[in-house]
């Protein structure tokens, strides 16, 4: 049932928890994990300095590479097949689009439980994915082991 599992990671401790859950799901189902990191370039387009924009973009892509490589190490250790993807754009939109276009069976994503003003001001990638994805979504709370 879960042959193609998309694990969204942001390189944080919460993202690592979600990766552990996704990898275990893949191990139990014989599936493949695809780790995706989306460099949020949607908020940098207004920067006036092209050099600053380039530096921020490069930093985000480096962070993304490290995040998916961490998931790769976890998957290897668990004996699970994996793929790595680093995209650019709006994280929620890119995760949903990738899952849909690549036939993913489930999206696993961490949530730090934003609420109130935080959620209003910053938005929540997990919430956007849950509300808009046509693919089932498994959210992993920060308290998950």
Residues with Cβ within 8 Å of 16's Cβ and at least 6 positions away in sequence, in order, are 9, 70, 74
Looking at every residue in the chain, the average pLDDT score rounds to 87
Tally of structural domains, the chain: 1
Taking residues 8-34, report their average pLDDT: 94
* DSSP helix, strand, coil percent of the chain (3-state; round to 5): 50, 25, 25
Kindly report, residue by residue over 78-126, the tens digit of the pLDDT. Answer: 999 999 999 999 999 999 999 999 999 999 999 874 444 444 444 489 9
**CB 43: neighbour CB atoms within 10 A?**
9
The CATH code of the domain that includes 27 is 3.40.50.620
Range of the domain at 131: 4-141
Q: Name the E strands within 23-98.
A: 32-40, 81-89
C-beta of residue 12 within 8 angstroms of C-beta of residue 63: no
């Amino acid at each position: 049932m879960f042959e193609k599992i998309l694990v969204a990671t942001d390189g944080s401790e919460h993202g690592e928890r979600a990766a552990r859950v996704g990898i275990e799901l893949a191990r139990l189902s014989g599936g493949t994990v695809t780790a995706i990191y989306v460099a949020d370039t949607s908020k940098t387009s207004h920067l006036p300095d092209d050099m600053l924009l380039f530096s921020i973009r490069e930093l985000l892509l480096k962070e993304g590479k490290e995040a998916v490589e961490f998931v790769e190490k976890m998957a290897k250790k668990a004996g699970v097949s994996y793929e790595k993807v680093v995209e650019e754009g709006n994280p929620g939109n890119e995760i949903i689009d990738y899952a849909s276009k690549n036939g993913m069976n489930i999206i696993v994503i961490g949530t730090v439980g934003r609420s109130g003003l935080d959620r209003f001001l910053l938005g929540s990638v997990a919430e956007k994915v849950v509300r808009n994805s046509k693919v089932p979504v498994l959210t992993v709370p920060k308290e998950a082991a």
